[in-house]
Structures are given as C-alpha cells and as structure tokens.
A and B are shown apart, each in its own frame.
Chain A
Amino acid sequence: MNGVDFLADSLPVFWAGFRITVLLALASYAGALILGAVLAVLRISPAAPARAAGLAYVEWFRNVPLLVHLFVAILCLPKLGVRIGPFTAAFLVLAMYTAAQVCEALRSGVNAVPRGQAEAGRALGLTFGQNLRHVILPQAARTVVPPLGSVFIALVKNTAVASLIGVVDLTYQFGELARDEPGQVMTLLVAVAFGYLVMTIPAGYAVARLQRRAAVAR
C-alpha cells in the first residue's frame, strides 16, 4: 500500500484523535483561565494565608513535571476512592497545571501597571472595585495578551502528554497506527505534524495580531 492510500485509509482515525486534542485543549484552557484568575486573586490578596496557599499551589504545579501530575491523577486518585476516566483526569490536570501559568501571567500583568495609575485612581476617589475595573485591569489586559497566548500554544502541545495515560488523542492514534504499520511511519509523521502545526501556527499568528492591536490602542 502506498503512502497516499494508507493516509486516506487512516484519515478517519486521525480526525477522531484531532477532535479529542482540540476538545481537550479548549476545555482545559477555559478551566485554566477561570482557575488561574482565582489563583491570581489569592496571590495578590492582602490576607497572608490566602497568599501562601496561592504560592504553594503555583510552586507545586510549576516544579512537578506534567506527566507526574497525570500519574498522580490516574494512579493515586483511585486509591482514594475517586474513579475518573483518562479524559477527565487529563482535562482536570491540564487545567490545574495551566492555571498556575495563567496565574503568573495575570499577576505579572497587574504588577506591570505603573504604581502611579492605581494611586491616581485612589486619589480621584475610586473604590477598590472601580479602580480595578476602570484603571488597572484594562491596562493589565494588554500586557497579559502575549503570555496568555503562549500559554495556550504550550497547552496544545502539552495535550499530547495525555496520550501516555490513555487519552485517545492525535498522538495516541499516531502511536497506534505506527505500531500497526511500521513501514508507514514517515507518512504518519507528516500527517501528525500537520495536525499539530495546523493548531499551533494559526494560534501564534492570532496572538501576534491581538498583541499588535493591544499595543496600538495603548
């Protein structure tokens, strides 16, 4: 069987894997944005224990490799009576892992707003909430766009790690097909490369565009 026929035959399998990868990336990103915002609030909170908890969370998730977190979810949680499938485990772990990065991006965005801005807001008599909504966050949002974009691109690539705990994503399907047809590995390589680059490269362009727009508006 030549490469083109083989590829045509395995296209449905690839497509199924591709959909899982996209779903996993988008769902985890949404989760990570929400959790990351909560963590950022904890990390800049005036209450010391909340700050400590936020810091501990971020340090744990930044210093332990992603695959180790996945193993914890898939091997340790069942021992505590929590039964979750590979996809749910991967979704939760990727969201929690990425949330640490989102938190740091948001925090540095808020900290990048010059002190004088917040002080000026207070001097005008804005309340904490008003100051945040009208002065700090609009400016922080601009600094935050590029790092949040690269966090997403990293997340898309990280979803591939989930294949190692049995999530039937693009990488998993690639591995299965390659095991069945070792002679076609080169063809599969091109296909799977296309599958990931088709996500990461447009995402990169979108981030660059957003970044330019944010920069002009400043």
Chain B
Amino acid sequence: MAANANLVVYRELANKRAFWLIFFLCGLFVAGGFLAHLTMEHHGHVITGMDNRIVWGLPHVFAVFLIVAASGALNVASTASVFGKSIYKPLAPLSGLLSLALLTGGLTVLMLDLGRSDRIIVAATEYNFKSIFAWNVFLYTGFFAIVGAYLWTMMERRMNAFTKPLGVAAFIWRLVLTTGTGSIFGFLIAREAYQSALLAPMFISLSLSYGSAIYLLTLSAASAIDGRPLGEAIVRRLKNLLATFVAAALYFVAVFHLTNLYFTRNHGVENFILLDGGIFTGLFWLGQVGIGSVLPLILLLAPGVSRYRILIACSAIVIGGFCQMYVTIIGGQAWPLDLFPGFLASSSFFDGEIHGYAPSIWEALLGLGGVALAGAIVIVALKLLRFLPERMDDATLDPSHAKANAK
C-alpha cells in the first residue's frame, strides 16, 4: 500500500441515496426557477420588484455572485497547475467542475432574466465590440472552452502533459473574465456608486474568496456523503488560503470606500451606503463586513480551529457575498443620479429620490434556480464521472506528508 501512496485513484460517488436526494432537491428548485422564468416571460417584468429605476434586481444579485464565484472556484486547480503545489492536484478536477457549474448557473439566470430571453441567438450573432457586455459573452464562452479542455487534460492520463499550459491559460482567462465582470459596473460613467476601475481588482479578490469558500463547502459535503475522509493538512492549507483571500477582499472594499470618501462629490453616495441607507447600510456592515469578512477571519485565524468552524466560516463568506452583491448592485441603483448638481430635483420619474426595491417571489425563485442548477450539474458529474479521489487523506494527497509520518 505504501508503495502506491503516489497513485491517486478517482471514483464516482457511491452513495446513491444521497445522490438522488440532492438531485431531487436541486431539480425541484431548477423547476421552480424555470416556472418563474416562464411566468416573467408571459406577464413581463411588471410582476417583479424591478422597475425603471432598479432595472437589475435579485436575479442579477444571484447571477453576478455565481459568475464571480465561478472564477474563484478555479483556485485549487490554478494552485496545483500554475503554482505547482502538487498536494492540490488530486482535488483540481472538482475545482474545474465547480467552476463550470457555477458559471452555467449564473449565466442561465442572467439569460432568463433578459427582457427578450428568446432572442439569445441575437446576443450570439450581433456584437458591438465597444460594449464590455459583448466582451463578456466571449470571455464566458472562452472560459467554458478553456476550462473544459483543462479538465480533459487533467482527467485523461495521456493528456496530462498539457495540463500545465492549459492551467496557465485558464488562470489568465479567469482573471480577465472577472475584470470584465467588475468592469460591467466600473464602466458606467454617471453612477456615483460605481465608476471606478478599482471595481475590477475588487471583484477579482471577492471571487477568490467566494469561490474558495464554495469549493471548501462542496469538497466537505462530497467527502461526508461518500465517507471519504479529508486530510487535516489539506483542510488547514485551504483554510489559510481562504483567510488570505477574505483579508484581500476586505482590503479592496476598504480602499474603494476610502477613495470615494476622499472625493467630496461622492460623499452623498458613501453616506448612503455606509451610514444612512437603511437596508443597504445594514447589509453592508452586518452582512458584507461583519458576517462576510470579520467573522470568517476570526473563525479561520483564531487558535484551535476546527472543521466545524471552517465550514461556518465558509457559509458566512457565502452569506456575506450575497449581501455584498445586493449592496453593490441594488444599492448602487437606489442612489439617484445627480443630473443637476446644486439643485433639488423632483419629477414623475422619481428624480432626486432614493429608490426602493422589494424583490418578488419570481425573482427569488429564478435566482435560487440558478444555484440549484449549479448544484445539479456538480452532483450529476460527481455521480457519473471520476472527479474525486477515492481517498482524500493527507497520505494520499501529499506523499511528502506520508514520508514524514513514516519516519
């Protein structure tokens, strides 16, 4: 056995009961999302909480979160292939799979929330290359192709030699992709809450954190479902990596707001988000900063960390991530545009007013449908294909660890 310590054997999920349960649950939510889409398609967006002031609502919160997390979910694979950390290599296929699944879920929500989602073929055939949205269409499809090929080189032994170059390509591509996602907001000239190139690196740092948290949750769930114990060393490494990402994301969020606070013209919107914005202020401080950043940092870095604490931290990061997206996307639109600086404006179209937003059940169902779709893809792929190592203990994942123990 000791001689075979280097040989990692991959196996499909064996626990049929858990598979069907998760598959059924995900299927239920996917069906709910599809029903919501059909209802919105039939009646129009009039049945949603969105309007001409909050044009991107809860579906965008879900979609952008999933797309950003998709890029971050590739962390483990990148660390293995690009940075040559062999301990992560056996866990890399799950990383690629999760990444593709999250991106599929996010893009599906985004597409089904379009006013004319039946015209998706138009989005694939008509391009305005000055639009960052159009660039994103290429970035997303390219990501599918590159990560798909990357997965193939990882899982097909004869193609292993190409894993490194494709890993590097995927790594660069995901950075560009998240830059593109952040720039969707950064390139809006008149919205005070955005209009900063800092949104691109901020989104990258957020993606690293969200993606890693979701990866750890998925890995732990898969390990628990199939009774494949996870090694202490790998969990500890992933935990440290996650803490670094959370701190980096918090740093960018702090710099972003400090920059805005330095510019007097942005004091209004900063005051709105940080002090006076009701639900948005609450979600920012309690959700994004408290639950999403400070709590996980304490849980991950305080002495005596346990598996349980790590999973709580991961869940808190995901909750904080949704709060962050809500504050960024909805809060940014809720703050009115200042067409006439120095004047108080009022109109039948709500000029000068802070806009309210109450999401409808349809938007929530559509968003949850996207999450469930990602879940369904992961569980089906794990059941049908050999994505996960049969053993995930430290001795299997890290031969040097095994040698050290043998001594």
Do A and B pair up? The answer is: no
Q: Which residues of B contact A (CB under 8 A)?
A: none
Q: Which residues of A contact B (CB under 8 A)?
A: none
